[in-house]
Amino acid sequence: MFRYPNGKTYNPGAVPAKKREAKESYSNRGMTLEEDLNETNQFYLNRAIAVIHKKPTPVQIVNVDFPKRSAAVIREAYFKQSSTTDYNGVYKGKYIDFEAKETQSDTSFPLKNFHEHQISHMKMVIDHGGISFVILSAFGSVYLMEAAVLFEFWERKESGGRKSISKKEIEASSHLIPLGYQPRIDYIKVLEKLYFH
C-alpha cells in the first residue's frame, strides 16, 4: 500500500474527485483562483524561482470543545484584525505583495471588493520599494493589475465617480496572464516584463 505525503492512500484505478468535476472552461473547472495561485506558488517554490505564500488570517479562538483528545472542535472564533493582502514573499531580492480577487460580473469589477486598509497597505509596500499588484479573475480570464493603476480607479470612486472598473478599462490597463498547466497562473512572467527587464 502506498500513501501520499498527506496520508491518503494511492489507488491507481480511482479518478480523483477534482478530475471528475473538471469542466472545459476555466470558470467551471472546480478550482478557485486561490487554489490555482497556491499551486502556482508551490511550483515556484519547488523550482527555487520565488518564495511566495498565502498569508494566514489572524484568528482569536474563544470556545473549543474537546469531546476527545484527538478531536478538538472550534465552536467560536473571531478575526483578530483586518487582513491586509492575500500573498507576500520574495522574488529576485524584491518584496512581492498582492491581493487576489474574483468576480462573476460580465461587465465590470466592483471596487467594493477592496477595502481602505488594503489600499493603504499596498501604498505602503510601494513607498518602501516593494512590488504590489492585484490578480483579477474576471470575464473568463486572469489579469495582473499594478497597484498604481488600482489606486487611480480607487481615487475616482472616492471622488464620487464610478464604483467599479469596466471590462474595457481592465483589458486596457491590466496585463493578461495566459493560463497554463504548470504553473497554472504564471504571473512571474508578467513581473519579469514589468520590473526585471
* Measured distance CA(116)–CA(190) in Å, rounded: 26
Q: Using an 8 Å Cβ cutoff, are 86 and 55 in contact?
A: yes
Q: Would the annotation count 84 as a binding residue?
A: yes
Q: Would the annotation count 24 as a binding residue?
A: no
Neighbour count for residue 127 (Cβ, 10 Å) = 9
Q: Would the annotation count 118 as a binding residue?
A: yes
Any idea which residue has 478599462 for its cell? 169
Q: Using an 8 Å Cβ cutoff, are 143 and 178 in contact?
A: no
Q: Would the annotation count 81 as a binding residue?
A: no
Query: Which among 68, 185, 79 is positioned nearest to 134, based on CA atoms?
Result: 185
Annotated binding-site members for Mg(2+)? 84, 86, 99, 118
Annotated binding-site members? 84, 86, 99, 118
